[in-house]
């Protein structure tokens, strides 16, 4: 089933052709007359809820929503060391993965490599396939921003010392193996969970 996930603060909007299988409750919204701006405004301080828009052509509906927003592109990476550990950063009181905005004229994959090297003080050895893409929404002045982030699988030689880029609000950068992810999973963003799932570091999740 082709489905899209858009993260809005702690809420999730699914766009799909059939009702997603999930353990949490989901509220179905009407596609007829749907305004993404109106929906975003109506959320206010609501958090932790799931919504779904069902349509026979979810791709077309997603494109329509995308056209109503200011698009900002970003890219980041999940970096593995030769010891089998993974690079995580701590920023804004949450565990995260290194990422940043794509600069003018820059390709997504190039931006991902640059941001990882800048934010963690490492030299990337290989910049491999795209793991997934994620979408989240926020406001910039009076505009609603839909940020699209491409995530790539990367490796480094050995396991170099990490230098967190403090001017970007990164206070820690750690190497962790897949048995040490409990603190990450307890305090990270839903989009990061998507990346870990795509890298097969998590069990298969329902939508």
Cβ atoms within 10 Å of 98's Cβ, excluding its own: 28
> H or E element: which one contains 67?
helix 58-67
So what's the pLDDT on residue 207?
47
1 has pLDDT over 70: no
| pLDDT averaged over every residue in the chain | 93
The percent of residues in the chain predicted with pLDDT above 70, rounded, is 97
User: How does pLDDT run across 111-140, given as a tens digit for each residue?
Assistant: 999 999 999 999 999 999 999 999 999 999
Q: Which of 28-32, 65-69, 123-127, 203-207 has the lowest mean pLDDT?
A: 203-207
Q: What is the DSSP letter of 18?
A: S
Segment 144-148 shows an average pLDDT of: 97
Q: If you average pLDDT over residues 174-183, what whole number do you get?
A: 95
What's the rounded mean pLDDT across residues 10-18? 94
Res 141 pLDDT > 60: yes
Question: How buried is residue 72: exposed, middle or buried, by Cβ count under 10 Å (0-12/13-18/19+)?
Answer: middle
Q: Is the Cα dihedral 146, 190, 3, 78 positive or negative? A: positive
- Give Cα separations from 118 to 16, 27, 57 (angstroms): 37, 41, 40
Asked whether the predicted pLDDT for residue 204 surpasses 60, the reply is: no
CATH numbers and ranges of domains, the chain = 3-67 (no CATH), 74-131+150-198 (3.90.79.10)
Q: How far apart are CA 102 and CA 76, in angstroms?
A: 10
| pLDDT over 90 at 2, yes or no | no
Mean pLDDT, to the nearest integer, of 73-86? 97
Predicted local confidence at residue 168, as pLDDT: 92
**Which DSSP string do the residues of 134-166 spell out, in sequence order?**
EEEEEEETTEEEEEEEEEEEEE-SS-PPP---G
Residue 79 confidence (pLDDT) above 80? yes
């Amino acid at each position: 089933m082709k489905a899209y996930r858009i993260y809005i603060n702690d809420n999730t909007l699914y766009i799909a052709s059939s009702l997603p299988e999930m353990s949490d409750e989901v509220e179905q919204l009407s596609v007829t007359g749907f305004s993404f701006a109106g929906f975003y405004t109506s959320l206010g301080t609501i958090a932790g809820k799931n919504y779904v828009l069902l349509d026979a052509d979810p791709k077309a509906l997603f494109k329509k929503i995308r056209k109503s927003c200011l698009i900002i592109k970003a890219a980041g990476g999940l970096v593995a060391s030769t010891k089998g550990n993974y690079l995580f950063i701590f920023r804004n009181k949450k565990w995260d993965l290194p990422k940043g905005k794509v600069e003018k004229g820059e390709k997504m994959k190039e931006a991902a490599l640059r941001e990882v090297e800048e934010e963690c003080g490492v030299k990337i050895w290989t910049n491999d396939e795209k793991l997934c893409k994620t979408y989240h929404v926020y406001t910039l002045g009076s505009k609603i921003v839909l940020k699209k982030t491409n995530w790539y699988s990367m490796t480094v030689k050995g396991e170099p010392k990490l230098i967190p880029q403090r001017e970007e609000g990164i206070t820690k950068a750690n190497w962790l193996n897949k048995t040490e992810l409990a603190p990450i999973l307890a305090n990270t963003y839903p989009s990061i969970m998507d990346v870990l799932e795509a890298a097969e570091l998590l069990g298969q999740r329902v939508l």
